[in-house]
């Protein structure tokens, strides 16, 4: 089952590997990212960051969706990691029972004019539009860098920047 979907352009790193996996009692991480899935060096690097005992699968977004629809995935506690809000929307449109939708780190590596939501999240207007769609699908979408930090609902944050 998908315990969490996290937008984090760094994908697997210390916050995910050490804090989120423990806080959510995860069995595995599924990286849904076309670029990472097609880059053997990046796949190897990401897998090296995963704690012992946690499974890690790196797939394209569409292949990850197929994998997550496999009945065997329902028996595991999984976090899906994507780099963009757009990819999060693609996954959330296909799954209605994700427990937690989280925006962790986004926008620092993309080009274009951005609006800063927090020191961790800066989004272009296109990504803000995707975030609005995501909030319609999952109204409890939250901004939270680590489990120990304060949760902020995306719907409330969007109210402050709406056109």
Q: Which residues are catalytic?
A: 13
Look at the chain and count its residues. 163
β-bridge mates for residue 81, sequence order = 6, 31
Q: Are strands 100-105 and 142-143 parallel, antiparallel or unpaired?
A: parallel
Which element (helix H / strand E) includes 112? none
CA 71, CA 73: separation in Å to the nearest integer?
5
């Amino acid at each position: 089952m998908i315990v969490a979907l996290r937008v984090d352009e760094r994908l697997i790193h210390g916050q995910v590997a050490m804090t989120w996996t423990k806080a959510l009692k995860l069995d595995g991480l599924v990286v849904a990212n076309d670029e990472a899935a097609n880059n053997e060096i990046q796949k190897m690097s990401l897998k090296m960051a995963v704690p012992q005992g946690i499974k890690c699968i790196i797939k394209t977004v569409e292949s990850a969706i197929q994998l997550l629809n496999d009945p065997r995935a329902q028996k595991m506690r999984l976090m899906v990691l994507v780099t963009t809000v757009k990819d999060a929307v693609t996954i959330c449109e296909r799954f209605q029972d994700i427990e937690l939708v989280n925006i962790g780190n986004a926008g620092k590596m993309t080009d274009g004019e951005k609006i800063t939501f927090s020191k961790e999240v800066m989004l272009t207007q296109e990504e803000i539009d995707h975030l609005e769609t995501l909030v319609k699908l999952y109204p409890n979408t939250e901004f939270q860098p680590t489990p120990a930090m304060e949760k902020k609902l995306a719907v409330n944050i969007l109210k402050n920047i709406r056109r």
